Amino acid sequence: MKRKPIYRSLFLFGILAPASILFQFCKPKGPAEVATGNAASQAYVAPGKYDEFYNFVSGGFNGQMNVYGLPSGRLFRIIPVFSEDPTSGYGFSEETKPMLNTSHGYVPWDDLHHPALSTTNGEHDGRWVFGNANNTPRVARIDLKTFRTAEIIELPNSGGNHSSPFITENTEYVVAGTRFSVPMGDKTDVPISTYKENFKGTISFISVGKEDGKMKIAFQIKTPGVNFDLARAGKGPSHGWFFFSCYNTEQAYTLLEVNSTQKDKDFIMAVNWKKAEEYLAAGKGEKAKAKYVHNWYDEKTHTATSEMLNEVMQLDPTVLKDMVYFIPCPKSPHGCDTDPTGEYIVGSGKLAALIPVFSFTKIQQAIANKEFEGDFGGIPVVKYEAALHGEVKKPGLGPLHTEFDANGNAYTSFFVSSEIVKWNVKSLEVLDRVPTYYSIGHLCVPGGPTRKPHGKYVIAYNKITKDRYLSTGPELTQSAQLYDISGDKMKLILDFPTTGEPHYAEAIPASLVMPNSVKIFKIEDNNHPYVAKGEGKTNVERKGNQVHISMTAIRSHLTPDNIEGVKLGDEVYFHVTNLEQDWDVPHGFAIKGANNAELLIMPGETQTLKWKPLTTGVFPFYCTDFCSALHQEMQGYIRVSPANSNVPIKFSTGRTEAPAGAAGSK
Amino acid sequence: MKKSVIIPALLIGAFAACAPEKPNKDGDTKPEKSAVEAVIDPTKGIGQVKNVTLESPLDQARVKRGIAIYEMKCQSCHKLDETRLVGPGWKGVTKKRKPEWIMNMITNVDMMLDQDPEAQKLLELCLMRMPNQNMSIGDARDVLEYMRSNDGEK
């Protein structure tokens, strides 16, 4: 009687033990895979302590830029960039609406893929971070003093801005290469089947003001019709050159999955932008008609302006020689990354089983010796072997992107085999590999794309999360994983969830950013046309059917908080000035029935909410951001009378009067 | 006997531990310099302003600047008579408080509310922390001159 269970359990063990051993060897392992050793303490940032790095992570289809701390993986902020943000009023307030204006009208959403931190001498300077809009082609500049979008420029002759916003060593230029080639110029209504004949690509070089960061399209280079994917500037010895990966050199226009993957090699396009500058200065550019907008935010008027531009300067490399070259690269290249020395360019073919590493010196020699295998669309193609430093053999499946540390090592993400592979750039020897959970896309080493990587960590931004977190229905959180790379072996120390879909990310030491953070906007400097610098300056003013209310907010009342004289059919503009001058004291503003959103007004700032009442009555408004013990008292009323009433404009705070004294409506 | 000694000591310890500490560079929490210097003359408050010499007649340029600052940064909460709005009315404030106390309250309000007994009494009364309105010592001196004018000085 007693023996039977023992036999049974032994029997079960015999079956299950090998199965579980087998299961453990399956790759990638399930959620049971845990970080080892002192991982927890490495990622732990004690309450009240600061993270060492800021991590600027693209929001992908949320259109925003997400700011995390490393090594904790804590989310600090989602910076509104290309999508509306009802929380802050971005895209809803009258002041911020122009930021999302385009040549297609107001566009409330986009898809942000790549951040690029500004650099000086190829090193992070902590001034700005740029981001690209993949759908309606644009580039944004975010000011790291305010963590706000300061400027957005649209890109004409682009069919989707994916190969962007990579920057040159001193942030002279931000580039923008079109993903889709499109028909352009006067002849845009053409059959899709005329791709080879009529579709063209462009690469835009956006100049960046040295002091103010102001963006301007300096020139566009016209290219044959292909898809541009990613890019990196040269640095050090290769400063003055830019490298772009391109796929679909088959020039397919349908079922690209099959038709654009026929050739063994596509190209990396090398652009000598110093040469382009020379041609431009010599008047070799052509002015082309183009409609695109330029939007910027003024921190003194607290208002954005949108300007429509009508022409762009273009350079044609089939006429202007020695400016653009193609280098064959296997196969459908995605990442195109230059190492910290600027000598090596790593191409990552999504469908390749090896990683080619090109040498800048050899590319220059090949060009000088005219070692070309032919041309593509009138642009010379350098011989593969002549440009090649060497190949990393059998590194993994589906290489996508490469980042670098300060010790001559590269870290490449592999989507298909779901891993990060560490290898030596010079020797091309594979040194280590770790699994990611699951299917990594981009990766980030702090300072990885600069001349001086900060190293310490590599972060994986994964495309699939599956079973790593508590499930939340069919839609799961996006995720990142933090690995310690300070030793010979990479070591997983943290999983953290991310918002939107993370594509590329950059990380920068907090010490380069945090000391410059703006705490308040000085009320003295506020030049908003409807600012009320003090309660005595508050006002309600009728201009035809517009009613402009200059209101103030301070802990804890709004002035005026009783408003009468608005009539049905009026458009009411609440211009709310936050009179606070202390850090972290925003006030909010919301009114019942508003069809837009709330305002969130920083200290010293003025923001405007437009409101069009649809019925008569008395409508409440209040502060939405808990500001003090009497926050719940921070409220007011606005009265809306019939269109033909004679209720006069009247406004006050703190004044009580006998009910009989109130003006009646007819 | 022993108990009664220990318990207050513990209470003081517990109270000290309650105050949220601001993280500084290396994460250590050392008392800030100005707190150490504090309270030489308790009626002067805590802060950079140690000694103010008042002169008569009033400096009218200062009074004028003081009015402009009052209207932009103070008027929302302080009336010019004795009545309390959000904060106390200003009438008589220069008779009741030392000029140093007033200027320290304006320029160092967070530390005053945390440590100065008179400021804390006002917080208990108003239940609203006076905001830091980002005022320089010069701004505060202008406001003080306006307060003197408001109190009838010439």
In SS3 terms, A415-436 reads as: CCCCEEEEEECCCCCEEEEEEC
Digit-coded pLDDT (tens) for A229-256: 999 999 999 999 999 999 999 999 999 9
Which of B76, B131, B132 is opposite residue A552, by nearest beta carbon? B76
pLDDT category of residue A348 using cuts at 50, 70 and 90: very high
| Over residues A276-302, mean pLDDT | 97
Distance to chain B for A302, nearest Cα, Å:
18
Same domain for A442 and A544, yes or no, is no
- Among candidate residues A491, A516, A541, the one where a domain is terminated: A516
Least confident span in A29-43, A269-283, A337-351, A599-613: A29-43
Residue B19 contacts A where some CB pair is shorter than 8 Å: no
Same domain for A508 and A561, yes or no, is no
Digit-coded pLDDT (tens) for A404-435: 999 999 999 999 999 999 999 999 999 999 99
| Over residues A471-480, mean pLDDT | 95
Domain membership of residue B20 (yes or no) is: no
**Partners of residue A309 on adjacent β-strands:** A292
The per-residue pLDDT for A657 is: 83
d(CA B72, CA A526): 12
Q: What is the CATH number of the domain that holds A426?
A: 2.130.10.10
| Over residues A446-469, mean pLDDT | 96
The per-residue pLDDT for A35 is: 62
- Cβ neighbours around A64 below 10 Å, total: 26
**Partners of residue A611 on adjacent β-strands:** A572
**Long-range contacts of range B86-93, CB-CB < 8 Å, 24 or more positions apart?**
B86/A555, B86/A556, B86/A557, B86/B126, B86/B128, B87/B122, B87/B126, B87/B128, B87/B130, B88/B122, B88/B125, B88/B126, B90/B147, B90/B150, B91/B150, B91/B151, B92/B151, B93/B147, B93/B151
| Over residues A283-298, mean pLDDT | 97
Residue B131 contacts A where some CB pair is shorter than 8 Å: yes
Examine the pLDDT at A617 and tell me if it is beyond 90. yes
Digit-coded pLDDT (tens) for A78-100: 999 999 999 999 999 999 999 99
Structural domain range at position A130: 53-516
Average pLDDT of every residue of chain A: 93
d(CA B40, CA B28): 27
DSSP A551-591: EEEETTEEES-EEEEEETT-EEEEEEEE---STT--EEEEE
Domain membership of residue A193 (yes or no) is: yes
Same domain for A183 and A323, yes or no, is yes
| Over residues A439-455, mean pLDDT | 97
Average pLDDT of every residue of chain B: 83
- Among candidate residues A481, A497, A516, the one where a domain is terminated: A516
Domain membership of residue A13 (yes or no) is: no
Taking contacts as CB-CB distances below 8 angstroms, the residues of chain A near B71 are 533-537
Residue A580 contacts B where some CB pair is shorter than 8 Å: yes
Q: How many domains does chain A have?
A: 2
Contact A533 B71 (CB under 8 A): yes
Cα–Cα nearest to A606, from A84, A96, A82, A87: A96
The better pLDDT of the pair B38, A300 is held by: A300
Percentage, residues of chain A above pLDDT 70: 93
Taking contacts as CB-CB distances below 8 angstroms, the residues of chain B near A537 are 71
Same domain for A310 and A444, yes or no, is yes
The per-residue pLDDT for A30 is: 54
The per-residue pLDDT for A255 is: 94
The per-residue pLDDT for B16 is: 40
Same domain for A385 and A445, yes or no, is yes
The per-residue pLDDT for A177 is: 98
Residue B36 contacts A where some CB pair is shorter than 8 Å: no
Examine the pLDDT at B34 and tell me if it is beyond 70. no
- Residue corresponding to tokens 């891993």: A419
Contact A581 B73 (CB under 8 A): yes
pTM for the full model? 0.90
- Among candidate residues A516, A539, A554, the one where a domain is terminated: A516
Same domain for A546 and A478, yes or no, is no
The per-residue pLDDT for A20 is: 40
The per-residue pLDDT for A658 is: 75
pLDDT category of residue A26 using cuts at 50, 70 and 90: very low
Q: Say what the ipTM of the complex is.
A: 0.80
Structural domain range at position B105: 44-154
Q: Are B113 and A615 in contact (CB under 8 A)?
A: no
The per-residue pLDDT for A37 is: 72
Q: How many domains does chain B have?
A: 1
Contact B134 A534 (CB under 8 A): no
The better pLDDT of the pair B1, A377 is held by: A377
Q: Which residue of B has its CA nearest to A46?
A: B27
Taking contacts as CB-CB distances below 8 angstroms, the residues of chain B near A535 are 71, 75-76
Which of A534, A556, A628 is opposite residue B75, by nearest beta carbon? A534
Q: Which residue of A has its CA nearest to B133?
A: A581
pLDDT category of residue A36 using cuts at 50, 70 and 90: low
Q: What is the CATH number of the domain that holds B127?
A: 1.10.760.10
